[in-house]
Copies of this chain bind each other. A is one copy, B any other.
Amino acid sequence: MMVWTSVWEVFTLLTYSLTNEDTRPLYEQLTDALMRDILSGTLPAGSRLPSKRSLAENLGVSSITVEAAYNRLIDGGLVTSVPRSGYFVEEIPLRELAAGAGGGRTPEKAHGHKGNGFSGVLPARPGAGVASDAEGSGTSPLLDLSGNRAPADRFPFSVWTRLLRSTVNDLGPELLQPSPGGGVYPLREAIAAHLRSFRGMETDPGCIIVGAGTEYLYGLLIQLLGRERIYCLEDPGYRKPAQIYRAAGAECRWAPLDRDGLTVSGLDASGADIAHISPTHHFPTGITMPVSRRLELLRWAAARENRYILEDDYDSEFRLTGRPVPSLKSIDRDGKVIYVNTFSKTLASTVRISYMVLPPELAEEFFRRLQFYSCTVSTFEQYTLAKFIAEGYFEKHLNRMRRYYARLRRELLRQISEGPAADRIRVLERDSGLHFLLQLDTGRSDEALYKALLSQGIRLNPLSSYYLNPSEAPEHTFLLSYSDLSPEDLGRALPVLAGLL
C-alpha cells in the first residue's frame, strides 16, 4: 500500500493540447500525455490529479474522456483512486532512469506497430495482454515482452482477402441467408476435418459451436452449464476467465498445480463442478499434463453427473518440440470434456472466430435451450475461414508459423545465452509453446524489477503476477512471451534488463 507523503495539486501543469489531427481518440491522446508526464517525473509520485470535471473543462473535452484516461492509468498501475480524495500518481521506483528514455519508444517500433495504442500494452493485468485491452490506435511506446498476440505481419493477408473476394463472388446473396446458431455447416465441417487430421479427434460437426471469440463462448457455456455451478481455475494461470465467470455471476475458485499440472486433490477440495484447464500447455508454467493425471481428472469428472472439464487448447498448434500430445477430449469416453479453441491466436487477434466442441449430451441441451441466440460471426468470415481450412491454407499457415516460431525461438534463446546478462538469466520450460520463463539472478524484488523495466518502456511480467497469492510463486521468475516479439525487440530489451539486475 502506498503512503501519500506529498499531495499537491498539479492542475496548472495539465494543459495538453489534444487535437483532431492526431487520429487517435482524445482520451487516448490524454492518457499518453499523462503517462509521459508520470514516467518522466513531471508528475511526481503522490501528485493529486485534477478532478475529472475540472480537467475536462480546462481541456474542452467531455468528462468521459478524462475518466477513460484516468481509468487507463489506474489499470496500468500508474495512478490510484482514493475514495473521497481523488486521483494520485503512484510511486514508481527508479523513475530517474526513465527521465531520458522517452518511455522506451523508438521510431522503428512505433512504425512497426502502427495503429496499436499504447494502452494495449499497458500492464493492465498481467496475462490479460490480449486484444480487448486495446482501446484506440496510435503508436506503441511500450515494448511488451509478455504479450500474447499473433504477429500481425505474419497473417496470410493476401490469401485471406483473395478467399474473402471469391467467397463473395461464389456465394453472392447466399451470404445473406442467416447462419445457423452454431455456425454455417461448411465451417463446422472444416473444423471437424481439421481436428481429425491435426489432433486425431473424431468430432460431429453438429457438436461444434462457432462464436465471436472464446470470451463469448465462455459466456454461452456459463448459461449452458449454469451460473450456480462452481468453476475451478488453475493457480497460477491465465486470469481472464475469472473476470468473465465473475461478470456473468458464476463463482470461481482456484486449485494449485504440482509438476503434473492441476492437482485433483486441490480440485476436489475446491468443491467445484467445472474444471477449466489447459492440459496440453499450461499458461504460464508450460506444464504438459501427463496421461496419468489426465485419466485421474477424467475419473474425477465421471464421478458426478454435473461435472465437466473445459479444455482450453489455446496453443496446441504451436508445440514446437517434444512428442505430440493428444487432447484430453480425444480420450474422454464419458462425454465430460468441452473442447475450446480459437483462430485468434493462430491467424490474427482481429479474426474473432473461436469454437467449442460440446459432448453430445450438452450439444443437445444447447440446441434445445440456447438455440435462440444468433451466431455472432458474420457469414462472410465464416465461409472465408471454411475455405481457408478446406483448401489447405490453414495447415500451410500453421506449418509456416511453426517454422517461423521455431527459428524465432532459437534466435531469442541464442541472444539470451550470448547477451549482456547471459550468466544471470536461466531459461526454464523450454519444451513447447510460445513462451518460456526466465529465472533471473537479481537482488531486486519482482515488483521493483517489473516497475523499473516499465519505467524504461519495457513490460515483462513476473510469474508471481499469475498467482492468486504472489508470495507462493518462485521469485525472480518472469514470463517471456515471444509470439509478437522480434529479435530486434529483444536486442533492445536485454541491455536494459542487464543494467537492472
A164, CB-defined interface residue at 8 Å:
yes
- Shortest Cβ distance from residue A369 to the other chain B in the assembled complex, whole angstroms: 7
Interface pair A204/B62, CB less than 8 Å apart: yes
Chain B positions within 8 Å of A207 at CB level = 64
Chain B positions within 8 Å of A161 at CB level = 165, 168
Chain B positions within 8 Å of A117 at CB level = 180
Q: Interface 1/0s, chain A 98-142, versus B by CB < 8 A? A: 000000000000000011110010000100101111111100000
Within the assembled complex, what's the spacing in Å between the Cα atoms of A225 and B205?
A: 36
Within the assembled complex, what's the spacing in Å between the Cα atoms of A221 and B310?
A: 26
Interface pair B133/A371, CB less than 8 Å apart: yes
A478, CB-defined interface residue at 8 Å:
no
A48, CB-defined interface residue at 8 Å:
no
Chain B positions within 8 Å of A27 at CB level = 206
Q: Interface 1/0s, chain A 168-181, versus B by CB < 8 A? A: 10001111111111
Q: Interface 1/0s, chain A 434-478, versus B by CB < 8 A? A: 000000000000000000000000000000000000000000000
Interface pair A64/B204, CB less than 8 Å apart: yes
Chain B positions within 8 Å of A248 at CB level = 223, 248
A59, CB-defined interface residue at 8 Å:
no
Interface pair A182/B135, CB less than 8 Å apart: yes
Within the assembled complex, what's the spacing in Å between the Cα atoms of A170 and B172?
A: 23
A323, CB-defined interface residue at 8 Å:
no
Within the assembled complex, what's the spacing in Å between the Cα atoms of A204 and B56?
A: 14
Oligomeric state, in copies: 2
Interface pair B377/A352, CB less than 8 Å apart: yes
- Shortest Cβ distance from residue A61 to the other chain B in the assembled complex, whole angstroms: 10
Interface pair B71/A206, CB less than 8 Å apart: no
| Given A71-B368, A133-B371, A378-B381: A360 in contact with B178 (beta carbons within 8 A) | no
Interface pair A181/B377, CB less than 8 Å apart: no
Q: Interface 1/0s, chain A 363-406, versus B by CB < 8 A? A: 11001111111111111110000000000000000000000000
Q: Which of A161-212 contact B (CB under 8 A)?
A: 161, 164-165, 168, 172-182, 184-185, 204-207, 212
Interface pair A25/B249, CB less than 8 Å apart: no
Interface pair B179/A131, CB less than 8 Å apart: yes
Interface pair B372/A352, CB less than 8 Å apart: no
A349, CB-defined interface residue at 8 Å:
yes
* 9 A-B pairs whose Cβ atoms sit less than 8 Å apart in the complex: A71-B368, A131-B179, A131-B374, A132-B373, A134-B178, A137-B184, A157-B173, A240-B372, A350-B379
Within the assembled complex, what's the spacing in Å between the Cα atoms of A250 and B351?
A: 31
| Given A176-B152, A177-B115, A380-B381: A67 in contact with B364 (beta carbons within 8 A) | yes
Chain B positions within 8 Å of A302 at CB level = none
A153, CB-defined interface residue at 8 Å:
yes
Within the assembled complex, what's the spacing in Å between the Cα atoms of A150 and B63?
A: 39
Contact of A177 among B152, B172, B360 (CB under 8 A): B152
| Given A176-B349, A179-B350: A135 in contact with B216 (beta carbons within 8 A) | no
| Given A372-B133, A372-B243, A380-B381: A348 in contact with B176 (beta carbons within 8 A) | yes
Interface pair B376/A180, CB less than 8 Å apart: no
* Nearest residue, chain B, Cβ from A149: B178
Within the assembled complex, what's the spacing in Å between the Cα atoms of A216 and B157?
A: 28
Q: Give the top 5 A-B pairs by smallest Cβ distance, nearest first.
A: A131-B178, A152-B176, A212-B376, A132-B374, A135-B180
Within the assembled complex, what's the spacing in Å between the Cα atoms of A362 and B212?
A: 24
- Shortest Cβ distance from residue A55 to the other chain B in the assembled complex, whole angstroms: 14
Interface pair A215/B373, CB less than 8 Å apart: yes
Chain B positions within 8 Å of A125 at CB level = 372
